[in-house]
Amino acid sequence: FSSQTKNLDFRRKWDKDEYEKLAEKRLTEEREKKDGKPAQPVKRELLRHRDYKVDLESKLGKTIVITKTTPQSEMGGYYCNVCDCVVKDSINFLDHINGKKHQRNLGMSMRVERSTLDQVKKRFEVNKKKMEEKQKDYDFEERMKELREEEEKAKAYKKEKQREKKRRAEEDLTFEEDDEMAAVMGFSGFGSTKKSH
């Protein structure tokens, strides 16, 4: 009866010999590192500008259904494909992509190239030209805006003049009608003898 029953022991069995070999191998590697030369440091590039725009707004306001099978890159938050991690808000995402871990995964150190005097002078010239172009554009736009406002004021002034003219013409007509009516009724002699124009 006992030979036909299966082994009912559900506990995991570890291969002790295999793990002993792995532990010995790790210990020997650590000893070699201590005794031998230190490992060559990885040569990393200097920090440089990003050549792309960080997309923070493409998923803004969208509703996404997340299930257990949804990949991590499509879950809520901002996904960094370099570090394979998800960050929940935009501020932390910017901190992450500007941080040491992300830059190291890109193969860059946190050191910046030291600029020479010529590079700084060129940069100043470029920025000065940009500012002058902006100033020209601004002056042109400002001038066009002022011209439009002046035209609108002139139109409004002309309209007001025309309204005033119409109002005066209507008053003159009603005044003349009153004079005629008064003359018919015999009231014309009470006022002054001067005629108004």
Region of poorest pLDDT, from 18-22, 69-73, 78-82, 149-153: 69-73
Q: Is the pLDDT of residue 138 over 80?
A: no
> Bridge partners of 85?
80
78 three-class SS: strand
Q: Is the pLDDT of residue 176 over 80?
A: no
- Which pTM does this prediction carry? 0.43
pLDDT-derived band of residue 101, with 50, 70 and 90 as boundaries?
very high
Report the share of the chain in percent with pLDDT over 90.
28
Residue closest to 81 by CA, chosen among 68, 96, 60: 96
Q: Return d(Cα 21, Cα 28) in angstroms, integer.
A: 11
The answer to whether the CB of 98 falls within 8 A of the CB of 48 is no
Tokens standing for residue 143: 């001038």
| Residue 88, Cβ density class (10 Å: 0-12 exposed, 13-18 middle, ≥19 buried) | exposed
Radius of gyration over every alpha carbon of the chain, rounded to an integer in angstroms:
44
The owner of tokens 């069995």 is 13
Residue 62 Cα to chain centre, angstroms = 17
Q: Is the pLDDT of residue 2 over 60?
A: no
pLDDT digits 0-9 by tens, 87-100:
988 899 999 999 99
Q: Is the pLDDT of residue 109 over 90?
A: no
More confident residue, 184 or 145: 145
